[in-house]
Amino acid sequence: MTSAPRNRQLIQLELTGTDVIKVDPWLEPFSAGLKARYAAYSKTLAQIEKYEGGLAHFAEGYKSMGFQVDAEQGVRYREWAPNAVEASLIGEFNGWSHAANPMTKSEYGVWECYVPPKSPGVCAIPHDSMVKVSMKLPSGVTIDRIPTWIRRVTQDLNISPIYDGRFWNPGPESLYTFKNGHSKRSVDGLKIYEAHVGISSPNMRVTTYKEFEVDVLPRIQKLGYNCIQMMAIMEHAYYASFGYQVTNFFAVSSRYGTPEELKSLIDKAHELGMTVLLDVVHSHACKNVLDGINMFDGTDHLYFHEGSRGRHELWDSRLFNYGHHEVLRFLLSNLRFYMDVYMFDGFRFDGVTSMMYHHHGIGTGFSGGYHEYFGESVDLEAMVYLMLANLQIIDLLQANSMLHDIYPNVVTIAEDVSGMPTLCRPVAEGGVGFDYRLSMAIPDMWIKMLKEQSDDEWDMGKIVHTLTNRRHLERSVAYAESHDQALVGDKTLAFWLMDKEMYDFMSDLSPLTPIIDRGIALHKMIRFAQLLVHTLGGEAYLNFEGNEFGHPEWMDFPREGNGNSFAHARRQFNLVDDHLLRYKYLHAFDAAMNNLEEKYRWLQAPQAYVSLKHEGDKVIAFERDGLLFVFNFHPTNSFADYRVGVDIPGKYKVILATDDKEFGGHGRVEHSVDFFTTPMEWNNRKNWLQVYIPSRTALVLGPAQ
């Protein structure tokens, strides 16, 4: 480890994993479960430190496994495949000869060979040439596989859908050199732009890394987002899987360009002041054999559990054996690889619910009862893996982190629908160690309301409860909609609100119909409410690209069922660039909302106080960090001199109003008016003031300068 290992071991002995009970006393009856989880983690960590020289070194497997090029341009290739009885490196460089480069096997099942330079300083394996490993099994059958640690694979659909492994070794003149280091931004107050490179242009084709860097990054910065979450980067054989059927874990998708072009994109994002997260898929793997890691050495249990435990019945994919030493090396090194080689700043872990439970969340409804999180259904080995990946520092003496210690500003986010307690508490306390969890119930609430209720039936208490129903002292990422709501079979918020009228009445030259008027108003309020979910208790906000301007229609990748069409696998930024269209109003509001938060930093302020949830008036009011937020969801009623409680006395001004004309509103709010408090208790606040709050409008009031 990097600091004070002796002190660390002494402190470690005193930890039992139950300090989290001090934060949540309701965990006391489950202290035995917490202790068992922490003991399993401690045992695994001790083994890694004893036999591997520490967790940090253990997670540098990418520096010793796969292809390693030395200073003389010789190539050493190492691969774990214990079931094989013979192995050889084959490729274009040796005419696919099985005899030219035989490999030797260690006692731990690791095969190795060395390919000397062709001449001094000249690599014998040409850059970007095709390579494979060939193995003979105990049965006598010979199999050829793409190396598991391969860093580049390509696909030529004109020849075959099967990917080819390639030896990536660009010369010094072609190797990208980073100009900027990792993001220096704190993990607090993230405004996340969830993006998929391939769909990031109006063109009916796959967008490139370079196009994203030049055309999309400036848009994201202008909108006020300080973090990008990049989807579908890890190579996946099927484009329509949205990146969630990973075949090659160390290879970035070649659909969008080269590894060096991705490095340039990330470097540019850092130059623009943004944190860059990778949507990492360690919850499962594609079951492909010829271009994946399934059945790599002829067995079904190399990286995965054998039999039914190693298969996800709904995802039709393979499930990792997190209890195996070499699987831990592979996965932890995968995280370190993306941090070191590509300079990612952290990860959004996909499918964490599936990882944490033997039932994978299938057919399980979580009630919130603590017995659901500490029983036999919990996969202890997977929990240990997540703890190892997420460990955090509790003091200067205890350097007990793989990610958080090596990279102090690393960000980790868990996609979990179960509500696992302690998920976002430090490992040393007995937690799992994530920085954030996704508040996945929130978008479901909005969609359900839009599907089943008219505006005047919306329950203000339910809205507030859903927005604030979160675990105390565990950070969350809130969002109105993500990529899930944009996929074919569902609708975006904009489409639920305006549907087919978006095709005919989104031009300023067309009449402002009641449906479009309602849709624009509520789209801003819902998204604004979601950013203010953090005001009500969350600490970060997420948006899926294009939804900020009410992108019409759905997402549908090219597939056989749609004639391999790209018509819906693109984000039509041309719509917001056309100043005759009303999309520009929603886009302008999103930028104003994000940039206002950047000025006042309410995401990083203490939790808000909700003073009003009026069902009849459909009004919600709350305060955070000296700002007053007032929402009027009523479809028809506007209120003059509406009395709202506020704790801090003084003079207030409107600093943002969703009804402003620049945001497609009616301009019914006068920004020049001063609002003075009266020192009398109202709704449990020390003072009150009166505001004009039009229908379907949200206001933010701040102290007048």
pLDDT in tens, 292-350: 999 999 999 999 999 999 999 999 999 999 999 999 999 999 999 999 999 999 999 99
Q: Helix and strand tally (H, E) in the chain?
A: 17, 29
In this structure, the answer to whether residues 95 and 4 fall within a common structural domain is no
The pLDDT tens digits of the residues spanning 433-483 come to: 999 999 888 888 888 888 888 888 999 999 898 888 888 789 989 888 777
Of 499 and 30, the structure prediction assigns the larger pLDDT to 30
Does residue 423 belong to any structural domain of this protein? yes
Residue 328 lies in a domain: yes
In a domain, 217, yes or no: no
Question: Which two tokens mark 652?
Answer: 């207030």
Confidence band for 523, pLDDT divided at 50, 70 and 90: confident
Q: Is the pLDDT of residue 401 over 70?
A: no
Answer for the pair 493, 449: CB distance below 8 angstroms, yes or no. Answer: no
Does 568 or 319 have the greater pLDDT score? 319
What's at 288, amino acid-wise?
N
Q: What is the pLDDT of residue 622?
A: 93
Is residue 194 a part of any domain in this protein? no
As a whole number of angstroms, the distance between CA 492 and CA 550 comes to: 8
Residue at 218 is within a domain: no
pLDDT tens readout for residues 634-662: 999 999 999 999 999 999 999 999 999 99
Task: Look at residue 208 and tell me if it is in a domain.
Answer: no
Q: What is the mean pLDDT of the chain?
A: 90
CATH of the domain at 86: 2.60.40.10
Which structure tokens are listed for 234?
Answer: 């890890």
Q: What residues have CB less than 8 Å from 343, skipping those under 6 apart?
A: 178, 181, 182, 263, 266, 267, 270, 276
pLDDT at residue 535 above 60? no
536 with 617, same domain: the answer is no
| pLDDT beyond 70 at 537 | no
Task: Looking at the structure, tell me whether residues 153 and 277 fall in a common domain.
Answer: yes
How confident is the model at residue 3, as a pLDDT? 35
pLDDT for 263 beyond 80 = yes
Q: Looking at the predicted structure, is the pLDDT value of residue 397 above 60?
A: no
Residue 616 burial (10 A CB sphere; 0-12, 13-18, 19+)? exposed
Report for 169-178, 226-235, 387-396, 419-428: range of highest mean pLDDT = 226-235
What percentage of the chain carries pLDDT values higher than 90?
Answer: 72
Q: Which of 271-280, 290-299, 509-518 has the lowest mean pLDDT?
A: 509-518
Query: Do residues 81 and 111 make contact, with C-beta atoms less than 8 angstroms apart?
Result: yes
Range in 113-117, 601-605, 700-704 with the lowest mean pLDDT: 601-605
In the listed set 606, 635, 656, which residue is the last one of a domain according to the structure? 606
Q: For residue 66, what pLDDT band results from cuts at 50, 70 and 90?
A: very high
456 and 328 co-located in one domain = no
DSSP 392-454: --SBTTB---SHHHHSTT-EEEE--SS--TTTTS-GGGTS---SEEE-THHHHHHHHHHHH--
Domain boundary (606, 623, 649) is at 606
* Position 528 confidence tier, pLDDT thresholds 50, 70, 90: low
The count of domains in the chain is 4
Buried b / exposed e along 218-250 (16+ C-beta atoms within 10 A): ebbbebbbbbbbbbbbbbbbebbbbbbbbbbbb
Mean pLDDT of 49-59: 92
SS3 540: strand
Kindly state the tokens that stand for 482: 């993500």
C-alpha distances out from residue 604 to 188, 357, 476, 532, Å:
6, 32, 12, 12
The CATH number of the domain holding residue 675 is 2.60.40.1180
Work out the pLDDT band at 580, boundaries 50, 70, 90: very high
**Does the residue 206 lie in any domain?**
no
**Residue of 211, 235, 345, 350 with catalytic role:** 350
**Is residue 596 within 8 Å of residue 700, measured between CB atoms?**
yes
Note whether 451 and 566 are same-domain residues: yes
415 given a catalytic annotation: yes
End-to-end Cα spacing for the chain? 51
Average pLDDT score over residue span 600-626: 90
142/47 same-domain check: no
Do 557 and 632 fall within a single domain? Answer: no
Pairing assessment for the beta strands 476-478 and 311-312 based on DSSP bridges: unpaired
Confidence of residue 77 (pLDDT cuts 50, 70, 90): very high
User: Does residue 470 share a domain with residue 602?
Assistant: yes
Burial status of residue 22 (CB atoms within 10 A of its CB: 0-12, 13-18, 19 or more)? exposed
Q: Do 43 and 154 have their domain in common?
A: yes
**66 CB-near residues (< 8 Å, 6+ apart):** 77, 78, 79, 147, 148, 149, 150, 151, 250
Residues 8 and 99 in one domain: no
CATH of the domain at 327: 3.20.20.80
- What is the domain range of residue 627? 608-703
Instruction: Judge whether 204 lies within some domain.
Output: no
Residue 6 has pLDDT above 50, yes or no: no
Q: Helix 460-468 crosses helix 441-452 at what angle (to 10 degrees)?
A: 160
Residue 28 a catalytic site member: no
How much is the average pLDDT of 410-437?
Answer: 93
Averaged pLDDT for residues 66-93: 98
* Boundary of a domain, candidates 132, 148, 164: 148
Is 281 in the same domain as 155?
yes
Instruction: Find the catalytic residue in 415, 556, 590, 660.
Output: 415
Among 55-59, 442-446, 617-621, which is the least confidently predicted range?
442-446
Whether 3 contacts 398, CB under 8 Å: no
The number of beta carbons lying within 10 Å of the beta carbon of residue 626 is 16
The predicted model scores a pTM of 0.93
pLDDT above 80: residue 363:
yes
On whether both 467 and 325 belong to a single domain, the answer is no
The mean pLDDT value for 700-704 works out to: 94
pLDDT-based confidence at 5, cuts 50/70/90? very low
Q: What does the pLDDT average to over 48-56?
A: 92
